[in-house]
Structure 1
Amino acid sequence: MTPVLLLVAALLVSAHAYGEREPSYNIRRVAPLTSAALATEVLPAAQFFVPLTEKVPRQTYKKKLLEALRTGLSTTAVLAGSANDNQYLTNVTVGGENFTVIVDTGSSDTWVAQKGFECFNLTSFPEKQSYCAFGSSGFDESKSKTFASYPDKNFNITYGDGEFLNGPVGFDTVIIGDMAVNKQEIGLVNKAAWNGDGINSGLLGLAYPELTSVYNGTDPDSDVSGESDTYNPLFFTALSERVVSNPYFSVALNRGSFKHQENSSYDTNLGYLAFGGIAPVNTTNISATIPVQGYTLKSGLSNQYLFYTVEIDSYIFNGSAAPTGSGKQAILDTGTTLNYLPNALAKAYNSKFVPPATYVADQDTYFVDCNATVPAFSVNIGGTKFTIDAADNILPAGTDSNGNELCVSGTQNGGDPSDTDLFILGDVFLHNVVVTFNVQSNKITITQRTAY
């Protein structure tokens, strides 16, 4: 595959989430009691924070499984970005052992590879461990003084392209930065079909408990989607153990330089994940607090919180129109690089580049001249305008066969709002704000960052 195809695939597959196996019922969005702006919360400084220091390409499994969610076929899909999108990593300690893990506001499980894990290819044929490309040999629970097994349970995620993660479940102390959570439920992956990056060995999920993937029994083939044994993700456990005083976690993602985006998977200045208050970066006085939008499950459960979904008042650019239908909401997700807007809005915005962006249908992608003039773009949420820096709306996408540099727009097609598609504000938006999540009252405070 040519360099351009590799890198375009890494940024621009139009679907951008993943989920569990064959779904048993679907979801539809439902608003909370209000979708209007709330009184802006006064946020304390964070008690704990940890730097985000690495960024690597995502695996390919996310593509097909957002499609299931977007067509209303999955209740427990886990949002996590485009196929081979970029993902932010940080370091954690589990039972005294150190691992690099994915930070994901679009999924909920905490899991690590287990020492001695079996590796398979996507046709379930056994392979050497190196084939799965985890960043370590895995967690050895026999070396942990704090590990406790959780009998008759199994951790199980199966993806639409053949990737899967299975294994036993236990409890252990998880330390991130200076925050120690003593009895966190974790999945130990002892069987995996996984297209790893050679750096991360697991995932730290920060979404709601309803997206967790532990089941009763020890046979993953007997698990039924929609019947998981829901448990507290790490930050919820930290709250229950009173490790943090305030019910906030906060994310500040740095864009990094254009050179780093184009040439390197490693950057030592990618922002912060903070707990107990707002992340420690410079901000303006522009801020809004809005409610998280809930979902109703076909099973009858109403107003269930899954993703960090917010109401969008408007997208502001020359020639924009008011969003309609499902286009009035968007999911805030650290694991999605690009913004995915309703198709008509994406088309209108991309026509305003000078020269205009070019849509390539077979890749469902807007390409743009790397030196194009970027049209101004803001998002109105909670009656407040949040500005996106022009630097975030042109992204490098490799070179063509002649060595010419290629770039793509940071704003891409997300689907048809009349079809209840899900839309996403990814890192293109999140680079410009600090997002602070109150998981106790189900509110999100968005704060404009100082230009950097």
Structure 2
Amino acid sequence: MLLNFMNLLGPAVLSLAASTLLRLPTPPNSHSVVHSLSLPGFQFRSVEPLISTHSNKKVQNHFSLSRLGTSKPRRSAVALLGQVQRDNGGGSYENVTAVNHYAVEYSVNATFNGIPMTIVIDSGSADTWIRGSNFTCRNSHNETIPKETCGLGPSFTGNFTGGPIENEHFTIRYGDGENMQGQVGYMDVELAGITVVGQEIALASRGTWLGNNITSGVLGLAYPSLTSAYIGNDLDADDQYLSIPYSPLFTSMVSDGLIEPYWTLAMARNSSLGSISLGGMPPVDLNRSDYDSTPILIADIIDRERTAWQPSFYTIVPKGFHFGHATTVGEYPFILDTATSLIYLPYNLAEVVNAQFEPPAKYSYDYGSYFTECDAIPPSFGVQIEETTFWVDPKDLLNKEVKDPDTGYCQTGISDGGEGPFILGATFLTNVVVSMNIASGRVEFWSHEFY
């Protein structure tokens, strides 16, 4: 789930003329596809490696991931970044669990001032927030509606340690239209056996949400430049110049010397096998796995000073894609997003890949994704990271849990990412073990074939 880039942009971006997108032709019999992309409003450069300081504590707890349902498809990363283009023209393990008939969403269990809560894990945002006891549910027109409509899990029944931070609140808007507002304060937060004393988090007092009636908030794992705290107590404030960056949970664990400076994720189609490790590796056998790594990139966003020189999202550039008998080459920025269900490719590339299903998949405007017969044969599909291709299991390329009741067809794992940047969501991430190493400034990948 990626944050809404409109919160990160100033008026200078909106006045820019759109650059030309070079579309991929659809050759009927070509065995090699070559394409390139121009992204208005974005520049990319590598993250500077940090000096690794060894932690003074290593916790060897293991928690599984959980697969949970949501009431709508999660495509926040593509909604967010596509909107920008349209406007321009060793340590511890946590179980990750999630799915509904539209989307995949993974959750973890954390404790806030001694009170356990189940929250969504999100590599595309940075804030940690939980539902407050006074939460008000609102619709897209900002009208108050029954709390049950938002589908949040139980409310947090405790309080901030020492009360909320004076004259500070948070306002976060996700790319799929969901949003949350509320107070900011300090709590002792425990995750996977690691406790951060006095961690800054948010208690949501109102918002628009389409949840699963189980999770009560979000744990953001992205960089501090994407945190959403603001000066003042006006919950409707939306001014980037009032923002107050702070250290989110993972960053605090690193800076406090509690873990090594990386986290590693091993999603799985079977939720009982998935896990996340903070400062270490999940308990996954990687002896027969392929391996490669690639730099984390900074999205240099115009008129947003700190995201122009500080890392924000886990952005990479794959060397290409392999599908059927075709191969792509070219440099496309992709966001690694645990809270996005599908793989979002450039439009014409998505068309070419979906056309290679047998029978071919067709785009559904009702769902915003492609559908084909549920017994269709998917093409082979792999993502090339540097010199290594990581293949996606055919089971993940055809989601039989997402069925159109009118046609009886099933959703494919490949969709249209508009003009990008694009997204490698759960369809891809369930096929790799991925480590976000902020010390080296690189993302490491291992093939995860046996799960």
Q: Same fold judged by TM-score > 0.5?
A: yes
**Conserved in 2, the CA contact under 8 Å of 1:24 and 1:226?**
no
Alignment partner of 1:116 is 2:101: no
Matched to 2:125, the amino acid is S
Residue of structure 2 in register with 1:180 after alignment: 195
Alignment partner of 1:107 is 2:143: no
Residue of structure 1 in register with 2:314 after alignment: 308
Residue of structure 2 in register with 1:451 after alignment: 450
**Conserved in 1, the CA contact under 8 Å of 2:3 and 2:124?**
no
Q: TM-score, normalised by structure 2?
A: 0.80
Q: Distance in 1 between matches of 2:318 and 2:381?
A: 14
**Conserved in 1, the CA contact under 8 Å of 2:127 and 2:220?**
yes
Q: 1:90-169, aligned counterparts within 5 Å?
A: 90-141=108-159, 146=161, 148-158=163-173, 163-169=178-184
Alignment partner of 1:377 is 2:381: yes
**Conserved in 1, the CA contact under 8 Å of 2:3 and 2:173?**
no
Q: Alpha-carbon deviation of 1:447?
A: 0.8
Query: What SS does the aligned partner of 1:108 have?
Result: coil
1:333 paired residue among 337, 344, 350: 337
Q: 1:336-415, aligned counterparts within 5 Å?
A: 336-360=340-364, 363-396=367-400, 398-401=402-405, 405-415=408-418
Q: Distance in 2 between matches of 1:161 and 1:133?
A: 16
Q: Distance in 2 between matches of 1:153 and 1:232?
A: 15
Matched to 1:272, the amino acid is S
Q: Distance in 2 between matches of 1:67 and 1:230?
A: 25
Residue of structure 2 in register with 1:19 after alignment: 4
CA gap of 1:106–1:139, structure 2 versus 1, over 3 A, is farther
Residue of structure 1 in register with 2:440 after alignment: 441
User: What is the number of equivalent residue pairs in this alignment?
Assistant: 400
Q: Distance in 1 between matches of 2:366 and 2:216?
A: 34
Alignment partner of 1:275 is 2:289: no
Matched to 1:52, the amino acid is L
Matched to 2:311, the amino acid is Y
Alignment partner of 1:54 is 2:67: yes
Q: Distance in 2 between matches of 1:424 and 1:305?
A: 17
Query: What SS does the aligned partner of 2:375 have?
Result: coil
Q: Distance in 2 between matches of 1:279 and 1:186?
A: 26
Residue of structure 2 in register with 1:237 after alignment: 252
Residue of structure 1 in register with 2:46 after alignment: 32
**Conserved in 2, the CA contact under 8 Å of 1:167 and 1:191?**
yes
Residue of structure 2 in register with 1:39 after alignment: none
Post-superposition Cα deviations, 1:284-310, rounded to whole Å, max 9, x if no partner, equal 341112110112132264343121111
Alignment partner of 1:322 is 2:332: no
Alignment partner of 1:250 is 2:264: yes
Alignment partner of 1:191 is 2:190: no
Alignment partner of 1:219 is 2:234: yes
Post-superposition Cα deviations, 1:168-225, rounded to whole Å, max 9, x if no partner, equal 1111111112111112110111122333321111110001111110001111334403
Query: What SS does the aligned partner of 1:71 have?
Result: helix
CA gap of 1:135–1:344, structure 2 versus 1, over 3 A, is same
For structure 1, list consecutive stretches of 5 or more residues without a partner in the other structure. 1-15, 35-44, 74-80, 257-267
Q: Distance in 2 between matches of 1:135 and 1:344?
A: 39
CA gap of 1:237–1:334, structure 2 versus 1, over 3 A, is same
**Conserved in 1, the CA contact under 8 Å of 2:59 and 2:194?**
no
Q: TM-score, normalised by structure 1?
A: 0.80
Q: Distance in 2 between matches of 1:415 and 1:304?
A: 26
**Conserved in 1, the CA contact under 8 Å of 2:2 and 2:174?**
no
Q: Distance in 2 between matches of 1:161 and 1:318?
A: 31
**Conserved in 2, the CA contact under 8 Å of 1:46 and 1:280?**
no
Tell me the percent identity.
Answer: 32
**Conserved in 2, the CA contact under 8 Å of 1:30 and 1:296?**
yes
Matched to 1:422, the amino acid is P
Post-superposition Cα deviations, 1:310-349, rounded to whole Å, max 9, x if no partner, equal 111110123434344xx52211111111111112222222
Matched to 2:345, the amino acid is L
**Conserved in 2, the CA contact under 8 Å of 1:147 and 1:173?**
no
Post-superposition Cα deviations, 1:340-396, rounded to whole Å, max 9, x if no partner, equal 111222222222222222334565532122222222111110211111111111112
Q: Distance in 2 between matches of 1:179 and 1:197?
A: 27
Q: Alpha-carbon deviation of 1:18?
A: 4.3
CA gap of 1:213–1:134, structure 2 versus 1, over 3 A, is same
Matched to 1:445, the amino acid is E
Post-superposition Cα deviations, 1:41-62, rounded to whole Å, max 9, x if no partner, equal xxxx984543112322265793
Residue of structure 1 in register with 2:26 after alignment: none
**Conserved in 1, the CA contact under 8 Å of 2:128 and 2:248?**
yes
Query: What SS does the aligned partner of 1:53 have?
Result: strand
